[in-house]
């Protein structure tokens, strides 16, 4: 790609302000610079463009035809930059409740239920930031954090959100294809899809299912459950699904469960609230809603009851 030909932003800012005021002096007052500095920056821009942008009158400025044609382009660029900054960084940190969550959990568990929170508290602004790996929590950027693990994180209050089981999933066509899946040992003829970052996985399920002919380490490794599901849905292999993220995949019909064997897990998704530092005024409302919603989740209720039995 060729290098973009863009003048210095300070030159463009000086030109835009001068064109708006038709005065170097007034532009200097607005930008908190000297009149000489504004005049020099505009002159440098003209030299860069090799065209005069102003006719300099004794008591005022007049845009040249080139300057008048260039001004809307510069203003549009500034407007788009301002709008983009507002869209991404938008409101002040204190105004928007920011929740970080793993991308698979965000898409397959939070997103289908999030409208319930807005129905409950329609005036609250929320920003969901998806993560792949559990990077260090940045209190300046996030108010709440959702992580997968044992529930023990120093400096945080951890509330359990899920009770998980794992079960294989695959494309419907794999069930009765050239190498059908009738029993767990049939997985030896298929690629296993592993999601990195989980301690419990294929070796646990295969052991519980009594599949002794399957190498638990073979196959493809990916970094998100969504990628594992997509690859499996296209017939590339068999993924191991955590129940909290499974329901939307089954509803879409792109994935099916070849076996009924489920293995309960000790790890789970947890909502983390920092124990120290300021608390967002809406954090408690979101936390209460999230925990209540998790308690009524059908998979959670079933898996929790089964683990207690």
Rounded to whole angstroms, the Cα distance separating 6 from 19 reads: 19
> What pLDDT shows up at residue 174?
93
> What pLDDT shows up at residue 234?
96
The first and second tokens of residue 35, run together, are 């009149």
The terminus-to-terminus CA distance of the chain in angstroms comes to: 63
Residue whose token pair is 């065209």: 51
> What pLDDT shows up at residue 309?
66
Rounded to whole angstroms, the Cα distance separating 53 from 196 reads: 58
Tell me the residue ranges of DSSP E strands in 90-188. 97-102, 126-131, 144-149, 156-160, 165-169
- Is the C-alpha dihedral spanning 59, 65, 68, 71 positive or negative? negative
> What pLDDT shows up at residue 4?
67
Rounded to whole angstroms, the Cα distance separating 269 from 158 reads: 9
> What pLDDT shows up at residue 58?
84
> What pLDDT shows up at residue 90?
56
pLDDT 10s per residue in the chain (309 long)? 345 678 999 999 999 999 999 999 999 999 999 999 999 999 999 999 999 999 998 888 999 999 999 999 999 998 888 888 777 765 445 588 999 999 999 999 999 999 999 999 998 999 999 887 656 667 678 899 999 998 888 888 999 999 999 999 999 999 988 999 999 999 999 999 999 988 899 999 999 999 999 999 999 999 999 999 999 999 999 999 999 999 999 999 999 999 999 999 999 999 999 887 778 899 999 999 999 999 999 989 998 888 776
Rounded to whole angstroms, the Cα distance separating 72 from 16 reads: 9
Rounded to whole angstroms, the Cα distance separating 180 from 201 reads: 22
Q: What is the pLDDT of residues 32-51, one digit of tens each?
A: 999 999 999 999 999 999 99
Give start and end residues of each alpha helix (H) in 167-282: 202-209, 225-233, 247-252
Domains of the chain: 9-89 (1.10.10.10), 97-163+267-308 (3.40.190.10), 165-264 (3.40.190.10)
- Confidence (pTM): 0.69
* C-alpha dist (Å) from residue 280 to 3, 21, 106, 269, 290: 44, 42, 20, 22, 16
């Amino acid at each position: 790609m060729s290098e973009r030909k863009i003048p210095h932003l300070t030159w463009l800012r000086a030109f835009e302000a001068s064109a708006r005021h038709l005065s170097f002096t007034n532009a200097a007052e607005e930008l908190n610079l000297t009149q000489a500095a504004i005049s020099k920056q505009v002159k440098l821009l003209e030299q860069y463009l090799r065209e005069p942008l102003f006719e300099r009158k004794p008591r005022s400025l007049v845009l040249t035809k080139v300057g008048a044609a260039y001004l809307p382009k510069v203003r549009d660029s500034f407007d788009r930059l301002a709008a983009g900054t507002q869209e991404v960084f938008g409101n002040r940190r204190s105004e928007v409740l920011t929740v970080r969550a793993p991308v698979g959990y965000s898409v397959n568990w939070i997103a289908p239920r999030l409208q319930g929170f807005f129905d409950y508290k329609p005036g609250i602004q929320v920003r969901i930031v998806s993560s792949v790996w559990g990077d260090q929590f940045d209190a300046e950027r996030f108010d709440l954090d959702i992580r997968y693990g044992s529930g023990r994180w120093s400096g945080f209050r951890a509330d359990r959100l899920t009770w998980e089981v794992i079960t294989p999933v695959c494309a419907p066509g794999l069930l009765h294809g050239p190498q059908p899946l009738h029993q767990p040992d049939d997985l030896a003829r298929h690629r296993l899809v592993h999601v990195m970052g989980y301690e419990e996985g294929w070796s646990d399920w295969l052991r519980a299912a009594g599949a002794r002919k399957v190498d638990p380490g073979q196959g493809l490794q990916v970094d998100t459950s969504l990628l594992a599901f997509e690859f499996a849905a296209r017939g590339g292999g068999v993924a191991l699904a955590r129940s909290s993220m499974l329901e939307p995949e089954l509803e879409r019909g792109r994935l099916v469960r070849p076996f009924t064997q489920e293995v309960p897990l000790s790890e789970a998704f947890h909502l983390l609230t920092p124990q120290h530092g300021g608390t967002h005024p809406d954090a408690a409302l979101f936390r209460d809603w999230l925990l209540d919603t998790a308690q009524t989740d059908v998979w959670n209720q079933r898996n929790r009851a089964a683990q207690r039995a």
